[in-house]
Amino acid sequence: MNTVPSHPCFLYARKSTDVEDMQVLSIESQLAELREYAARENISIVEELVEKQSAKIPGRPIFNDMMDRIESGEASGIVSWHPDRLARNSVDGGKIIYLVDTGKIGSLKFPQFWFEPTPQGKFMLAMSFGQSKYFVDSLSENTKRGLRQKVRLGIMPGVAPPGYINDPRSKTIVLAKLKAPFIKQAFELFATGTHRIMDIADFLAKHGVISRNGKVWKQHRISYLILTNPFYYGHFRYAGEIHEGKHEPLVAKQLFDQVQEQWKKRSHAWHEELPVKIYTGLFHCGACGMMITAEQKTKFYKGTNRTVTYTYYRCTRKSKEISCRESFIREEELDRQLTNLLQKYALRQDWATAMLKKLELEKQDIAQSTGAYLVTKREAIKFITIKLQRLLDSYLEEDIDRDDYRDRKAKLLSEKKTLEEQISRFQTTHQSWLGPMEQWVKEAAGIAEIARGGDKNAKKVAAQNIFGSDLTLENRLARGSARKPWAALRAAPTSRKMEPRARIGLATPTYQVGVLPLNYLGNVVSNKRICSRSQAVTFMLFACIVQTPYSDFRL
């Protein structure tokens, strides 16, 4: 199928202790993913090379050795997770681009990074090799460092809560003399247990402690920003943790604790609505088959005097046959793995566009070709109607006897019924697959966005869509095999073999004799078998691949 010969490649995996590499897959995972990718794409691997050094400065021994071996012709391609695995500096990046230009490197393949064999593609490659990413990363790192420094000094970054103001001169947070007493009173009122959160909202509104647009505050705003905010007794929340603050407390810890007691009693319903333990019910345990559940644990760090709440996922261990020994996994880690799983099923935007265009063409084609088919069938029905009329005439003229008439009439009516059924079946089968197919292409194209984003609920929904109930967690590894037609997105090239029998090519003009419409597979004459959506996806993917090789930077 692949007309371009495959270049023998080195498989290169790298991870260092650099800050930039913190979010990168472990070496083991890189190797596993790349082996799977190479097998799927039929890439022959000369040798697997592993390096554990930073790529920010030139001088990696294994990388340099690989470059020498490519120059001497031992291999002519590299498979790696991402361009930034190969180089993060302009010297090494330049070397690769030079070997590409001189033809020593014929192919660069990255499963997660898409290149076009265009000048823009080369430019993008040079960009990822260069230092721009490092600068961007270090900029955001500096901002974070600045905020962390502030937190260490006991100053909460961000906007002061009600009753306090940000003092621009000292860059600290100080009491707002007018409003602070009402906030304190609010705590006292609520601690008595005779006031509801709504009453507190009214009280604060009456005394002018209200939000900017002048409305009475919603209950959850009152409880989160004021009644349960540790800022008022001297600590503060930052990045999911509690820190000690240098600001002047407004209420005593004892009063604050009384308020918490009341709040717990009154706000059960609201409390349960918090989107915690989002991934429960999504995974089964790979070892015993039971559901994976979540629990939260709060840790106290004595050295820095702060508490952190973690969400852990674990097997419910309800199996009576197997005593399950599977260990816990942090939500952050599970989220990272789920993101990786989702990314594998993201449909490239340009391919989605091409597929939608293709579907539009199919729609027009179907209208045309079915039009011709329906005309013949309707002509046949009309002909039978005429025959029936003639038959009746012959009978009335007494040219034929009653039995003969009945037999012939029954036969004609049966033929007519068959034709009518053929028409209605034809209409439903030919139109019905287009809508869902279009819907699916759009959905698959949206996966990349969902995977990149921070909306865990969207990730959960997408995962349920793609994997159904087939997600498992074993040895702290999340796995899943996709349902149809999602599985077609990761189908091996061998199963892309059907296309010569169906019409492919993105810009097929109009219906051609002897060429099958996309949704046909099998017998041309009877037009009977219609392919599944998965097969249609495979066809169209192939059509895209013919134009833009999958994840391939080929020159």
- Please, which residue, 327 or 428, has the CB nearer to Zn ion? 327
Is residue 315 at the binding interface for Zn ion, with CB under 5 A as the rule?
Answer: yes
Of the candidates 242, 251, 288, 355, which one interacts with Zn ion according to CB under 5 A?
A: 288
What is d(CA 81, CA 74) in angstroms, rounded to the nearest whole number? 21
The encoded tokens of residue 84 equal: 């930034």
Written as one letter, the residue type at 450 is I
Backbone angles phi, psi at 528, to 5 degrees: -90, -50
Query: How far is CA 32 from each of CA 11, 12, 37, 81, 374, rounded to the nearest angstrom?
Result: 11, 12, 9, 11, 53
Strands of the sheet with 45-51, listed across from one edge: 45-51, 9-14, 77-80, 107-109, 552-554
- Are β-strands 306-315 and 164-167 bridged in parallel, bridged antiparallel, or unpaired? unpaired
Per-residue x/- marks for Zn ion, 235-274, CB under 5 A? ----------------------------------------
Q: What share of the chain is helix, strand, coil (3-state, %, to 5)?
A: 50, 15, 35
Q: Which is nearer to Zn ion, 326 or 365 (CB)?
A: 326
By CB under 5 A, residue 124 contacts Zn ion: no
285 forms part of the interface with Zn ion (CB under 5 A): yes
At position 302, the amino acid (one-letter code) is K
Contact region with Zn ion (CB under 5 A), list: 147-155, 172-180, 282-290, 461-469: 282-290
Per CB under 5 A, which region of 121-129, 157-165, 209-217, 284-292 contacts Zn ion?
284-292
Point out which span in 43-51, 304-312, 322-330, 365-373 binds Zn ion (CB under 5 A).
322-330
- Pick the stretch among 175-183, 190-198, 323-331, 496-504 that binds Zn ion (CB under 5 A): 323-331
- Choice from 147, 287, 356, 506 touching Zn ion (CB under 5 A): 287
Q: Which of residues 487-516 bind Zn ion (CB under 5 A)?
A: none
End-to-end CA distance of the chain: 18
Distance from the Cα of residue 108 to its chain's centroid: 25
- Smallest gap, in angstroms, from Cβ of residue 324 to Zn ion? 3
CB under 8 Å, gap of 24 or more: what pairs does 261-269 form?
262/190, 262/191, 262/193, 263/190, 263/197, 263/223, 263/227, 263/228, 265/193, 266/196, 266/197, 267/197, 267/219, 267/223
Using CB under 5 A as the binding rule, whether residue 326 contacts Zn ion is answered as: yes
Q: How far is the CB of 166 from Zn ion (least distance, A)?
A: 50
Structure tokens at 3: 């007309």
CB of 154 to Zn ion, least distance (A): 44
Q: Does 292 bind Zn ion (CB under 5 A)?
A: no
3-state secondary structure of 312: strand
Stretch that binds Zn ion, among 206-214, 279-287, 516-524, 547-555 (CB under 5 A): 279-287
Task: Please say which residue, 128 or 293, places its beta carbon nearer to Zn ion.
Answer: 293
State the CB neighbour count (10 A cutoff) for residue 485: 20
Give per-residue burial for 328-365: e unless 16+ CB within 10 Å, then b: ebebeebbebbbebbebbbbbeebbebbbebbebbeeb
> With respect to Zn ion, which residue has the nearer C-beta, 169 or 320?
320
Q: Which is nearer to Zn ion, 308 or 324 (CB)?
A: 324
Nearer to Zn ion, 288 or 352 (CB): 288
Which CA distances in Å does 433 have to 27, 497, 515, 518? Answer: 43, 22, 19, 11
Residues with Cβ within 8 Å of 79's Cβ and at least 6 positions away in sequence, in order, are: 9, 10, 11, 12, 34, 37, 38, 43, 45, 109, 110
On whether the CB atoms of residues 402 and 395 are closer than 8 A, the answer is yes
CB-nearer residue toward Zn ion: 198 or 291: 291
Size of the site for Zn ion (CB under 5 A): 6
Q: Which stretch binds Zn ion (CB under 5 A): 252-260, 283-291, 457-465, 535-543?
A: 283-291
Give the nearest distance from C-beta 288 to Zn ion in angstroms. 3
Q: Which of residues 358-377 bind Zn ion (CB under 5 A)?
A: none
Q: How far is the CB of 341 from Zn ion (least distance, A)?
A: 20
By CB under 5 A, which span of 277-285, 362-370, 421-429, 547-555 interacts with Zn ion? 277-285
Nearer to Zn ion, 37 or 313 (CB): 313
**Span from 99-107, 266-274, 314-322, 372-380 in contact with Zn ion (CB under 5 A):** 314-322
The residues that touch Zn ion, with contacts defined as CB under 5 A, are 285, 287-288, 315, 324, 326
